[in-house]
Structure formats: structure tokens, C-alpha cells
């Protein structure tokens, strides 16, 4: 509708003789046709410019049993301590819809909803980290365990934390199998967190989730990154697709509740998330390190 408002504003500013011409039926029809074509072209070009997508790696409507694309490893891992049998030598990205059920995804999403109901960012992106206790509140973060104390026991249940652990274990096994490494060599690392994204305008840099980045550069501890989607693209939200950025041939993953997307964390998997245009997108980022010194424990029910 923004494009239509631009076109109508230009028409309103037109000289009177042009406005009189606009009132002639045949010119009005031609003008409307041209406006619609222009609008369609502008919309097409703006969408194309935003995502540059050449290939959909996984569509929301399909059930992907397991899809894996191997890509050459970057040199990012060379500047960190190597752990033989874990540090990526085989790099790539994968998607599966058969590890986490949609029912489990719904239950996990309810944990995120309960936690985020205690706060939420003023901008479009809110974070809940059950490990550190970090929770977006306004333009800042609080530690929900300290901030809310014993009230937390009325928000979450022991079953919530048990399900969280089980889902983490399933994702860990999936990554280990895909990359041919031992699951025991992978250590859950921080930050591992829930995200809730809507179309609200960004208020701080923390809300600007759409910038392209490399996880290994942003978080040195990351070796393998995974995302478990907890809502459905084009049903629960618009925009918000995950984009692996490659010159002239971006690959996109359309979120689907229960879908796990995973990849090696180096610059071979430069990526970003499209801006969410409507609705609410829920996901959980679960990250693993090969370095046991960077390991964190599963969250425990307070």
C-alpha cells in the first residue's frame, strides 16, 4: 500500500491541466493501468532486491526428511584451537523436519511465550535465554531468575525444562550424524536462546536482526549452529525467511514449526534473516562448540 500512496501523492501534486486530463475516462484507464504496472514492477524489484533468492533450500509446505549441502570450509577455524574429530573439516548446511515433531515445537513455543510474557523488547526482536536468564525488557535486558525470583516457579514447570533438554539432545545428535562426528564431542555453548520477532520498528541495535553476519566471527565459541523454528512462514508471519548468502545464488529456508536448520558456523555460511513484515516469528537458536571450555549446562528448573 506504500507504493499506492506514493503514486496518489504525485497525482495530487500534478498541475490542474494534468488533473483535468486525468478525469478523461480513456486516459484515466490508461493511467491506472500504467500505475498498476509501475507498482508491480517496483514491488517485484524491491522484493528481489531484499532477498535476492535464487533457490529455496526448504519450502514451508514440504516435509523434508533430510537435506544436506556440503560447502568448502572457510579459514575461520584456523584462528581457533582445533579439536580433532570435532572442529569442522566437512562443512555445510542441512534441514530436517523429522527430528522434532510439530507437537514438540508447539510445546517448546509455549515455553518461549510464557517467558517472554514477563517482558519483551520495545523494538521488533525479543530474546529469552533460559541458561543465563537474559530477558528483553524494553530497551534493556534483565536476569529473569533474579528479577522475578520465586515467581518463576509459577511461570515454568519442571516438564518445560525436561522437554528443552530432550529437544537439545535430539538436535545435537542430528548435527553429529550429519557431519560424521561424535555427539559427545559437541558442547552446548552460549548464547543459546529463544527469539520472538515481529514487525515493530527497531529501537536499539539489538533489534536489528536482519544484518548479514558470520556466527564464528560474532561468537568465537560457535562451531555448529542450529535453529529450531517454532512458527510457520506465511501462516504466522510474513518475511522472516533465513537466507544463506552466496554470490548470485542465495539459498533460503522457509520456517516451519518443528523444522531444524543447522550449519557449520564459519563464513562459508554467511547468512541473514529477512525483516518480518507482519505477524510473529518464533525460533530457538541452539549452538555447539568443540571446545569444552566454552560449554554450558542445560538450564535447571529453579
What residues act catalytically?
Answer: 281
Rounded to 5 degrees, φ, ψ at 34 are -65, -40
Classify burial at 158, counting beta carbons within 10 Å of its beta carbon; exposed 0-12, middle 13-18, buried 19 or more.
exposed
Report the alpha-carbon angle 206-223-219, nearest 5: 25
Host H or E run for residue 158? helix 158-179
Q: How far apart are CA 276 and CA 240, in angstroms?
A: 5
DSSP 7: H
CB-based contacts of 258, cutoff 8 Å, min separation 6: 97, 100, 101, 102, 104, 105, 228, 229
Q: What kind and span of H or E run contains 29?
A: helix 25-51
Q: How far apart are CA 201 and CA 224, in angstroms?
A: 30
Q: Where are the beta strands (DSSP E) in the chain?
A: 53-58, 67-71, 91-96, 120-121, 125-128, 134-138, 140-143, 187-197, 224-229, 237-239, 242-244, 250-253, 260-264, 271-273, 276-279, 281-289
* Vertex 284 angle, CA 57 and 76, to 5°: 65
Alpha-carbon distances of 58 from 185, 210, 241, 246, rounded to whole Å: 28, 20, 10, 16
CA-wise closest residue to 210 among 201, 219, 221: 201
Q: Are 120 and 141 in contact (CB under 8 A)?
A: no
Amino acid at each position: 500500500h506504500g507504493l499506492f500512496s506514493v503514486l496518489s501523492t504525485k497525482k495530487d501534486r500534478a498541475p490542474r491541466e494534468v488533473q483535468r486530463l486525468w478525469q478523461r475516462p480513456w486516459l484515466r484507464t490508461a493511467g491506472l493501468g500504467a500505475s498498476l504496472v509501475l507498482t508491480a514492477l517496483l514491488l517485484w524489484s524491491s522484493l528481489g532486491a531484499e532477498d535476492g533468492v535464487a533457490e529455496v533450500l526448504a519450502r514451508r509446505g514440504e516435509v523434508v526428511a533430510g537435506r544436506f549441502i556440503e560447502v568448502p570450509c572457510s579459514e575461520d577455524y584456523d584462528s581457533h584451537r582445533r579439536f580433532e574429530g570435532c572442529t569442522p573439516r566437512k562443512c555445510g548446511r542441512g534441514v530436517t523436519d523429522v527430528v522434532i515433531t510439530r507437537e514438540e515445537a508447539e510445546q517448546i513455543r509455549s515455553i518461549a511465550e510464557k517467558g517472554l510474557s514477563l517482558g519483551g523488547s520495545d523494538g521488533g526482536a525479543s530474546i529469552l535465554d533460559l541458561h543465563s536468564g537474559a530477558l528483553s525488557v524494553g530497551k534493556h535486558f534483565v536476569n529473569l531468575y533474579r528479577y522475578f525470583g520465586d515467581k518463576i516457579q509459577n511461570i515454568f514447570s519442571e516438564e518445560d525444562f525436561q522437554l528443552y533438554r530432550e529437544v537439545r539432545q535430539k538436535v545435537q545428535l542430528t548435527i553429529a550424524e550429519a557431519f560424521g562426528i561424535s555427539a559427545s564431542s559437541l558442547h552446548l555453548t552460549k548464547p543459546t536462546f529463544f527469539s520472538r520477532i515481529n514487525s515493530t520498528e527497531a529501537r536499539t541495535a539489538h533489534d536489528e536482526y536482519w544484518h548479514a553476519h558470520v556466527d564464528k566471527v560474532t561468537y568465537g565459541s560457535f562451531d555448529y549452529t542450529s535453529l529450531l523454528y517454532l512458527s510457520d512462514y506465511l501462516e504466522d508471519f510474513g518475511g522472516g525467511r533465513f537466507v544463506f548468502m552466496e554470490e548470485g545464488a542465495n539459498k533460503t529456508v522457509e520456517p516451519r514449526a518443528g523444522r531444524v536448520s543447522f550449519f557449520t558456523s564459519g563464513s562459508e555460511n554467511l547468512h541473514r534473516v529477512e525483516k518480518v513484515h507482519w505477524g510473529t516469528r518464533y525460533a530457538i537458536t541452539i549452538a555447539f562448540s568443540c571446545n569444552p571450555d566454552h560449554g554450558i549446562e542445560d538450564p535447571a528448573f529453579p
